[in-house]
Every structure is written in structure tokens, then in C-alpha cells.
Structure 1
Amino acid sequence: MILPPFVGALGFQQILGYYGVINTILVNCGMERVNFLTGNGRFWSICLIEALHLYPILYLNLVSSLGNIDPAMRDAARNMGAGFFRRLFCITLPMIRPGILAGGSLVLIWSFTELGTPLMFGYNRTTAVQIFNGLTELKSNPEPFALVLVMLVISTIMYLLAKLLLRSDSVSSSKGTAGTSADQLTGVKKYLPTLFFALITFLAALPHLALIFTSFSLRWHSTVLPENWTLLNYENALSHPLVVPGIINSLQYSGLAMLFALVIGTLIAFITKRWKMPGGWILDAIAMLPVAVPGIVVAFGYLGMAVEFSWAKEMFNPMENPVWLLSIAYAVRRLPYVLRSVSAGLEQTPLEYEEAARTFGATPFQTVRKIVFPMIGANLLVGALFAFSFSMLEVSDSLILAQKSQHFPITRAIFELSQILASGPYTACAFGVWTMIFLGASIAAAGILLGKRLGSIFRL
């Protein structure tokens, strides 16, 4: 999660390329090179990158669901003679099924709508890439609009189906401490989980390691490790005319998006969780739609609006200045993070405190300012942090709405750098390392503030 998948594609190209690490190992073992990045190889490479990038979302949902299982149920099954697999399939899996559905549906929707990774691999047989390639023909070719509609309909169906399954499959469970019911492994078995997670961690860290090694390499061709090490790529990244303006632009776009998302998301959370206004669930569902609506659809809609309508072109012309267009697009995309974070905080804040404040004559504004906001401060901070950091690294909106180099945000700058022959990919990797550190620090801070409740942000 700390590395945008399209940036991780730069590292994977070094690992899976014809003269990359794996092929070098094959040659050293006396075998022929395999072209992993042609034909179906590119398809499976993209699937692998998406899986390694998105599995933490499923993991966070499962951790949250496992924490809600009453340990007494598994203890009772064990006392009745149920074995491990019987307890797993009859108790644990049915109880965590909502977490599996929530996390799995997000992984499915986000993979289906991914633009950056197939674009970096030059794989054009995806709907998102075909929409992107049709941007230059908006006025003469209706096919991109048709593809956008197809993607929107399919994504919405996936989202609604997941919501229906979650509602029909909801399981009531009393809170418990999962650790009290943990099985103690002995002998060789106690090392098996460590080996399994070590393998998963190694695979997940491969694109990060490749990106870091590439950023420090002067040349990496037909060797397992770079032939020469240098800091020149970081110097080039600092001095390149796209980098510093890209950082400044992203800070501006993301700062405005964070403010928009924080205000709107907090207001909707209060409407649905505190004020209980009629039809509040409809507002909540609409605010969560960006989870299902792909970023490329949002960006394409804004771009089409600016092209087709004169009033929109005057206000939001991406060729002149896309600051408001990108800020609004970023805010819409990250609104669900703020909404879920603030909603989780309100659900865990006892109403008795607010009722006591009103009993002593506090106005609703004073109650919210002095009671509610301090108690959900961590949730507000995490929502703002996620809205800002993920906006900084938004791919689809940035690639489509930023048309001129002086308006490029970070992700568009990385993409343009990667297309430069010779030193371009190395400079892009150096820039990508900075984004990885930034996003990693943001998620670490959110994890410290919310702990195991972090998974609640990535729920439908």
C-alpha cells in the first residue's frame, strides 16, 4: 500500500524484464531467457502487481473481523471435540465473511479500474487504457464515452452486489479479545506461520526493493544487483524541471482536496450517525459511490463536461488551470476515507457525554466543539491524513486532467519521466522512492492513531 502500483511497475520491469534479475538467474543456471513481459506474460505480471499492492486492504478487513469474533464460540466448539478445520469452516469463516466480502470487493473493483499499471507495461487490452488512449478524439469519436459508461455500469453493479451480500450476510458477534483463544503451536508447526509470512513479505517487498535499487543504480543490465551505485538519480530528480513544480502542484491540489473532503465527510457523518435525519442512509450511499466509481470515470466526466459545455470550460478548463478541477476530483475520490473514519469515531463516542453537556445548558455548537471533536480528534486526523496522502499519489485523475507540464502533479511527473529514454526510468524511480516514504509514513501514523480499527476505513 505504500507504493502506488504504477510506480511499482517500474521496479517489476527490472525484475521480470528480458535482461532483468529473474532472467539473469535463469541464464546463470544454464536455462534460456523467458520474455515475461510480452503476450500473456504482461497480463499476469499486472495481476501480480495488483495483488501485492491490494492484499493489505483485504488483510485489514480480516483483522477487523477477527477481532469481533467472540472467543467463547471457538472455545465451545473445541470443548465439543471439533477439530481445527471444522472450527475454521463452521465458525471462523462464516463470522469473518463480511470482512472477506468487503475487502475482496474493493480489490476486485480497484483492479478492474486500474489505469497506471497497464499503461506502464504498455498493455492496451484493458478498458481503462483504451479510455485514456481515446482522450485525443473526444469530439470526433464516441467510443471513449461508451467505454466509460460500460466501466461505470460494471463497477456500480459490483459495488451494489457487494453491498447486498454484506447486508444479507451480516453476523452479529460480541466483542472479544481474540488473543485469549489463540491456539498455541508446538514443534515444527510453530515455524510454519513465520515461513509463510516471510514468503509473503518477501514477495510484497520485491517491487519496493527493485525501485530502491534502481534509484541508486547507474546501470542495471543482465545482473542480479546493479553494476554501479550512484546518487546521481536523486540529483537529477531534484534538478529536473518537472519535479519541484510537480511537488508544489500536488501540495496545492491535495491540500484543497483534504479541506473539501474533511468538511463534507464530517458533515455527512454527523447527519447519518448523530442527527439521524430521514434518508441519511441515501446520503451515506452516495458519498461512498466513489469507491465503486473509477477515478478514470470521474476524471473523464469532468474533462467531457469542460469540452462540451461553455460555462464549464470557462470555470474548469484543464488547459488553462486545472487546480479546481483536480482538487474537486481528488476530494470526491477520497471522501469515503474521511466519511468512514469520522463515522467510526462517532459510533464509538458515547451519547451520554453529549446529553450531559446539553443538560447543563451547552448549545449544540458548544457540545460538538468541546465534547465531540476532542473525542473523535484521532479519527478526524486519520481521515485528513488519508485524504491528503492518497490525493498526492492519485493516478487516473492526474494523468487525464493535467494537460500541461506546468500543471503536472507528482504522479503525472513520474509517468513523463519514465518515458524518457536512458536515464528517465532511473530518475522516475528516485522520485518514486520519495513517494513511497511519504505514503508509508502516512499509513504508519494512521495505524498508530487507530490501531486495529484502521481496517474500518477500507469498508464499503
Structure 2
Amino acid sequence: MAVFFGCFFAFPIWTAVRVAFETPDHQFTLEFIWEVFENQLYREGLLNSFLIAIWTTLGCLLISLPLALLFVRYDYPGKTILNSLVLTPMVLPPFVGAIGIKAILGQQGALNSLLMNLGMMSREHPVDWFAEGQMPGIVIMEVLHLYPILYLNVAATLANLDPAMEEAAASLGCPPWKRLWRVTLPLVMPGIFAGGTIVFIWAFTELGVPLVFDFERVTAVQIFRSLNDLSGNPFPYALVVVMLTFSTLIYLLSKVLFGRATAAGGGRATMARETVRLPLGLGLLCTGFFAGITFLAVIPHLGVALLSFSKDWYGTVLPQEFTLDHYHSALGHELTLSSIANSLKYSGLALVVALVLGISVAYINVRTKIWGRQLLDMMAMLPLAVPGIVVAFGYLAMTRPGQPFDWLIIGEDPLLLLVIAYAVRRLPYVVRSASAGFQQVSPALEEAAQNLGASPERAMWRVTLPLVAPNLVAGGLLAFAFAMLEVSDSMILAQQASYFPITKAIYSLILSLGNGPQLAAALGVWAMIFLTVTIVGASVLLGKRLGALFR
């Protein structure tokens, strides 16, 4: 296990880092790193990436904290159904949803058309809602896509708080708002930081949405645009190192401050929390708030769906003509057919690798006392903290001609490279779900099987694995689904059209003339349906434990 992580996680990153610190004659230098901070273009990209990440994290917190408080503490109409829809925003890659947002909020989009029809806006001077920088649109897309990650973590932490702490504060005369600020929030900070760290790093390194919004002045896009000029150019690798450094520092800071995930009075509650049944009026108000946030989150999905059915959607509130031709074309287009087949192949093989590795890591960590098992578990979870674009560039660096792993590229086929990249990136989902399963199954069952003559391997295969199968299926479904729609690895490692995965094909269609955006939207709807079914299945199998996969 350690050898695999060393070869396909640590070594790629080290290779990319080494290129950033090497002169052409293999001498150590800091020149390229300093250039990142001295060059105004690179500085602006870093600043914009930080701003997007900060605003996205704050936006997710403003949405997630009230929703989590409502869900954990109160009963209101439709609570169960609304909570089951909380992962809906994650069923569509945000860069695909950006197509729908552009169709709705563009200068000739649906919103401006509605305001013009109502006489609230001049047709000669439509408002550019995204202004010149496009940053507000990127932040909106990221917030609507990522707030469920923070919600799951905060809700899980709130559910585990001991209500006696708040009741003690109330008995001392502390009013509700002061209790929230002085007692509850400090206790849920581990959940906020756990989810907030993932949200921040995800937004900081996001590649797809800025590409769709033609926003070039962010670090991830600057790295991507340098793909055509990698030969003898160390600056893209220097950018990768800077991005990796900031992401790692943010991740480590959260672990140092709140890594134990329990504060005083946190952890498992010593007494059950009784939810408060709200009066009908207040209950409907809470229902409306929850439903309103969910509706806002699915607006990009609605925009993509409408675009996929439209013949021409420009300057009107809704498309004037609808057609199914784009769906037939999307499934018959040469690029889309091959991309679907490629994604199924890459993701299926990656799932096998992730399951073998994930089950092994989880078993070693939960069932054994082997020295270093916690380090192994930490290594398996590190892909959550390391940006995908960093790992992808590491793979590019280590497969250059003459490098030890150049055999991973057979001709132009990135099959082995993408399978390994997908498996490493999605391994944390399998590890966490398998660990939860092993923790729930008593070791006494395996010991009983061994006492009856079964070997440890047979006891594991015939007793333990069937009992943890629901967890493995749930983690495997999420790993497979998110691998199918992986953005960074797909965009960087697949260079030839015949090897494009789905996400690279969608991006290529977005850039195409004619009905390319409509075909991309249709393919995005197919992807959305697929991921919806997958996440619903995983949530049914894992229930409340689903949030642990995003910590």
C-alpha cells in the first residue's frame, strides 16, 4: 500500500515540485517561484483564486449553518423530503451548470428578458449581471454547488452535541442568540472547519467554471493554458507548487486547530436531543426557506435542461421552440459516444483499484494494531486536500520521455494514467465508507469463524465483507460517479479527442459553434441523471453517515 501511494501520489507531486526548483542544467533555484509572486499576471491569478475561495466559503457557511440548525433542532412540514434533496446541487458538475447560468443571467438571458417584458429594464442597455470580471458568476456557481458539503458536516456535528451544555447556559439566563454565539458555534467549529476546508480548497483550485466563464485570471486556468508550452517551461510547475503550498497549509491549519473533531462537550451526546415542533406558520416559513435554497441551487440544472431542449434560446424568458434532437445527436455524435465509452472504461477500472486499496487500508486501520496504520489512513485521505490539478500535473511530469513512469503512456493513450489518477482521487470515499462498515461489525464474528476452522482470509471473505457490503457499495457508487465526472485529471491528461472522457467532451462541445452548447447541455443532463441515481442510492445505503465521506 505504501509503495502504491509512494509511486502514484507522493512521487508525481515530488516530480512536479522538483521541476519548479530546477534550472535546465539541474541546479537548485528559487527563481521560478519568485517569478510567480513578482509577475503581476500570476499575482492577480492567485489573488482572484483566494477571493473566489473566501467568498465561496462564506457563502456556503451563510447557507449551511441556518439549514443545519433548522434540520437538527426543529420539526416542520416536509423536513425529511427536503433533507433528502440536500445533495441535489452536487448531481451536476459546476462547469456544466455554468452553461445554464450563462443562459439565464447573460445580457440576453432569461432574467433580463423577463425584466424587459415587465418594463423594468431598457432593451438598449441590458444589465451585465456578471460585469467584466465574471467573478460573481463563478462564486454563485461554486456556492450553489458546494454548500451541501458544509451542510453535511455542520449538521452531523450539531446532532452529536450534548444538549446539556446549551441547557446549562439557558438556565443561567443566557438568551438564545447569545447561546448560539457563545456556546453552540464554538462547539460546532470542528464541523465548520472540516467542511469549510474542503470547500475552500475546492473553490481555490476550481478549473471548470472559470474556463466556461472565460475568466482567465485565476491560477488554475493559467496552469491549464500553459499545457501547450510545457517543454522547457518551468513556470507552470512553479504555479502548481504555489497552489499546492497554499492548499496544504490551509488543510494542515484546519487539522491542527480542529483535527480532533471534538470540542469540550462535543462528540457523542450523553442525552438525546428533542426536536421542537414549530407552530404551523413558523414551520411553513422554515419549509419555505429550505425549499427556496434548494430551488436556487437547482436553477443551473434547470437552465441546462432548458438549453438541452431548446432550438434557439436567445433574448426570451423561455425557449420559443423545443426539440429532442439534441439528445439524439448527443448519443449519436462521434465525440460523445467515444467519451461515454472512455469514461465507463476509465471509471470502472479505477473503481476496482479503489475498492482493493480502500478495503485494505480500512481493514488495516480498524482491525489491526500494525505500526503506521494511522499514517496509512492519513495518506489515503490526503487526495481530498491536494488539488486535482496538482496531481494531474505531477503525472504529466513523471511520464515525460526519459522519466521512470513514461511507460504509463502507451502511444497517446492515457488509459493507465487516468485509471490510476481517478482511483487515487476517489479513494477517500471508499476508505471512509469501508472504515465505517468495519467499525460497525464486531471482530468477534471473525474470531468465531476462525475458531470453527476458517482461515483469516476466508473469514474476511465469507463473514466480514458481506456484512459491510452496503457501505462498500455506497462508497463505490460515489467513487465511480465522481470519477465519471472528474474535471481536472480529464482536462489535463486526455489530450487526443479519441481518448476524451465525458467532461473533456462536454468542454469541447461548449467551445463548438452551432449547436455545440445544446449538445453539451444534453450530455450534461445525461450525466446529471446518472449522478442523481448514484447519490440517491448511496444516501439510502449510508444514511446520516454520508457526510463522513466529505471530511
TM-score (norm 2): 0.79
Q: Which residue of 2 aligns with 1:430?
A: 522
TM superposition shift of 1:59: 1.2
Whichever residue aligns with residue 121 of structure 2, its letter is M
TM superposition shift of 1:88: 2.3
Which of 116, 121, 129 is the aligned partner of 1:31? 121
Q: Matched residue pairs, number? A: 456
Gaps of 5+ in 2: 1-89
Structure 1 residue 263 corresponds to structure 2 residue 320: no
Deviates most, 315-324 or 334-343: 315-324
Say if 1:152 and 1:293, in contact at 8 Å, map to a contact too.
Answer: yes
Report % sequence identity: 50
Gaps of 5+ in 1: none
Say if 1:74 and 1:181, in contact at 8 Å, map to a contact too.
Answer: no
TM superposition shift of 1:153: 0.9
Q: Which residue of 1 aligns with 2:162?
A: 70
Which of 358, 376, 381 is the aligned partner of 1:283? 376
Q: Which residue of 2 aligns with 1:55?
A: 147
Q: Which residue of 2 aligns with 1:248?
A: 341
Whichever residue aligns with residue 149 of structure 2, its letter is I
Q: d(CA) in 2 for partners of 1:166 and 1:319?
A: 47
Give the 3 Å change call, closer, same or farther, for CA 390–187 of structure 1 in structure 2.
Answer: closer
Q: d(CA) in 1 for partners of 2:410 and 2:196?
A: 35
Q: Which residue of 2 aligns with 1:85?
A: 177
Q: Which residue of 2 aligns with 1:21?
A: 110
Q: d(CA) in 1 for partners of 2:433 and 2:138?
A: 30
Deviates most, 51-60 or 168-177: 168-177
Whichever residue aligns with residue 192 of structure 1, its letter is L
Whichever residue aligns with residue 194 of structure 1, its letter is T
Cα deviation code 1:102-161 (max 9, x no counterpart): 111100011111111101111011111000000111113211010011111111111111
Cα deviation code 1:80-121 (max 9, x no counterpart): 554322442344323322111111110001111111110111
Deviates most, 9-18 or 297-306: 297-306
Say if 1:316 and 1:325, in contact at 8 Å, map to a contact too.
Answer: yes
Matches within 5 A, 1:110-189: 110-167=202-259, 170-171=262-263, 172-175=266-269, 180-186=273-279, 188-189=281-282
Say if 2:398 and 2:404, in contact at 8 Å, map to a contact too.
Answer: no
Deviates most, 230-239 or 68-77: 68-77
Whichever residue aligns with residue 290 of structure 2, its letter is F
Which of 91, 101, 105 is the aligned partner of 1:2? 91
Q: Which residue of 2 aligns with 1:197?
A: 290
Which of 436, 447, 450 is the aligned partner of 1:355? 447
Q: d(CA) in 2 for partners of 1:316 and 1:263?
A: 20
- Describe the SS at the equivalent of 1:307: coil
Whichever residue aligns with residue 244 of structure 1, its letter is L
Say if 2:354 and 2:424, in contact at 8 Å, map to a contact too.
Answer: yes
Say if 1:74 and 1:87, in contact at 8 Å, map to a contact too.
Answer: yes
Which of 462, 471, 476 is the aligned partner of 1:384? 476
Whichever residue aligns with residue 15 of structure 1, its letter is I
Q: Which residue of 1 aligns with 2:76?
A: none
TM superposition shift of 1:286: 1.3
TM superposition shift of 1:316: 2.0
Give the 3 Å change call, closer, same or farther, for CA 83–16 of structure 1 in structure 2.
Answer: same
Whichever residue aligns with residue 314 of structure 2, its letter is H
Say if 1:261 and 1:332, in contact at 8 Å, map to a contact too.
Answer: yes
Whichever residue aligns with residue 320 of structure 2, its letter is E
CA RMSD after TM alignment? 1.9
TM superposition shift of 1:367: 2.3
TM-score (norm 1): 0.94
Q: d(CA) in 2 for partners of 1:419 and 1:226?
A: 21
Q: d(CA) in 2 for partners of 1:200 and 1:309?
A: 52
Q: d(CA) in 1 for partners of 2:358 and 2:262?
A: 25
